[in-house]
Amino acid sequence: MVLKNIFRSTVLDLRTWSVFLGARKCNTVSPAFKPSQCRFYANWTLTCIYKSDEILLNQAVRQYARPSRKKQEFPSQLQDLHPSLLKHEYASVPLAQSVDDVVKKLLMLELASHSEKLSLKEEQLIAKVQRGENDRSSTEVKVAILTARIRNFQEHLHKHPKDKANKRWMLMAIDSRKKKLKFLRRTRYDSFKKVCQELGITYTFPPEYYRRVTRRWLAKKAFCNKVFQEVQKQKKEQREKQRSADPKGKEPTSSKEPQGTA
């Protein structure tokens, strides 16, 4: 380590001495070499900073970093909840309307947590699709609850895209909602249509085959389609030839009637 430091200090001294010698030669021997160029070379060499284990050059910083992308604002499902609304637990209590302003402010959504706002949003979606006032276990209610949770997961993952655990929970909730919508569509189509309209859900049919799309499969599919089109084209030409080969003015032969004896 000591020899390494001595060697580096010697190198630095030699570089400095070579700079001064070059500047002296510029002043005496080579008048064509400008003093400003000597000064620039000396400054560039003397900017070597000797630290404990390394020699660093103070070079110009190059702007290679890409500009940060601005994320698009994701619309939250809780935007339409007014801060003056009461929490879900106190909305049905008549005494909550006549309490002091300070106490009433504590019961409002202005100071509510995110989970309390989400529970109120779930109740609003349930009220749109439930069959009756006491309906809490029907398929429509379960779809409404899953819809509120899925939208909450989407908003969270837009801010934190690397959260793999919540992404997995969101995908599981989406699969569960697809299963319930499929059952509802098969059993009660009117209710299914109402749920999709009230909750703003676009139902997409599942794929016919759950297989991975590969380049070999795509090439084979394109070749099969091309062969099918060629076969259909040949069949069409054969049909046209048969129609043209038939006599156009041909009349059906009349059956000969047996002549009776007089």
Residue type, 70: K
The pTM score is: 0.56
Q: Which CATH superfamily is domain 113-199 in?
A: S15/NS1, RNA-binding (1.10.287.10)
Joined together, the tokens standing for residue 84 give 């003056």
Joined together, the tokens standing for residue 57 give 């050059």
Beta bridge partners of 48: 57
- Please report, in tens digits, the pLDDT of each residue of the chain (262 residues total): 556 666 667 766 666 666 555 555 555 444 444 445 445 444 444 444 444 444 445 556 566 777 777 778 888 899 888 888 888 888 888 888 888 888 888 888 888 899 999 999 999 999 999 999 899 999 999 999 999 999 999 999 999 999 999 999 999 999 999 999 999 999 999 999 999 999 999 999 888 878 888 999 999 999 999 999 999 999 999 999 999 987 655 555 554 555 554 4
DSSP string, 143-174: HHHHHHHHHHHHHHHHH-TT-HHHHHHHHHHH
Q: How far apart are CA 111 and CA 96, in angstroms?
A: 15
Q: How far apart are CA 130 and CA 106, in angstroms?
A: 30
How do the domains of the chain map onto residue ranges?
2-57, 113-199
In 3-state terms, what secondary structure has residue 106? helix
DSSP 8-state assignment for residue 55: E
Q: How far apart are CA 192 and CA 188, in angstroms?
A: 6
The sign one gets for the Cα dihedral 248, 249, 252, 253 is negative
